[in-house]
Structure 1
């Protein structure tokens, strides 16, 4: 197993750059940003048979064979931050997407939970934040109490 403790800080940062470059070459991530968003979009698209939109597409991240549009959000829990709050969901009232896919990872990148949420449920499940200019949703199992929300955790394994 890889032991990073013997590396210098510069070595660690250079390894990170090399890892991101390799993930880009494999088509798993599309940017040099924090890889969680790109990785989740790739994972969801590959497991659910979706086609990724261009990275500049506003409002949705992927489409299915029937033309339904999906926005994909994710959160990785850590020892110091266990919040399941997703990034703000903006413009959902403009119906730019039909479903929100929410994926929560444990710190080791294993999937803790994943949900398919109809756009029509977003305002009931979240709260609007003017500061974030969008709805905030916490991706926890209580989402499953809402009609139309389903767990897709097993499909992403």
Structure 2
């Protein structure tokens, strides 16, 4: 193990770069969005290795609205968070729009980490649950989800860290 407390600032930054490169080589992260990539990796890996859950595969990088697809063709949007809100969902109508939102995915997976990137919980929402819980983020001009007690009660619990 590297004792990171004894590294110089320059050594610590270099070590971070080496870790990022190794994560990319192993296919754990695929872009510069570390938290998002970690969540996608944990979600797909957990679904594929847990009996009773659909087998997921990554969608191609840059695919709009979805991050994974099940072998049955269901589309999954995966959001990661270390806080109480998810990242935003683009491509949906703004509030008070008279148009009906075209379904972009069948399920949302929310991967929750603590501030040290330790996996805490994975939950799943249906499209309908997403629609009933989404909140408008006016600055981003898109929708997101707040991790509320109501949302947690409605969601399907996929994983919880027992520690």
User: Which band: TM-score by shorter chain?
Assistant: 0.7 to 0.9
Q: Does 1:45 align with 2:44?
A: yes
Partner of 1:121: 129
Partner of 1:79: none
Alignment of 1:8-87 (within 5 A): 8-31=8-31, 33-48=32-47, 49-76=55-82, 83-87=83-87
Q: CA deviation at 1:139?
A: 2.4
Q: Does 1:135 align with 2:134?
A: no
* Structure 2: gaps of 5 or more residues: 48-54, 93-100
Q: Cα RMSD (Å) of the superposition?
A: 1.9
* Structure 1: gaps of 5 or more residues: 77-82
Greater C-alpha Rg: 2
* TM-score normalised by the chain length of structure 1: 0.83
Q: CA deviation at 1:151?
A: 1.0
Q: Indicate the SS of the match to 2:80.
A: strand
Aligned length: 146
* TM-score normalised by the chain length of structure 2: 0.80
Q: Indicate the SS of the match to 2:73.
A: coil
Q: CA deviation at 1:37?
A: 1.0
Provide the rounded CA distance (Å) in 2 between the counterparts of 1:72 and 1:107. Answer: 19
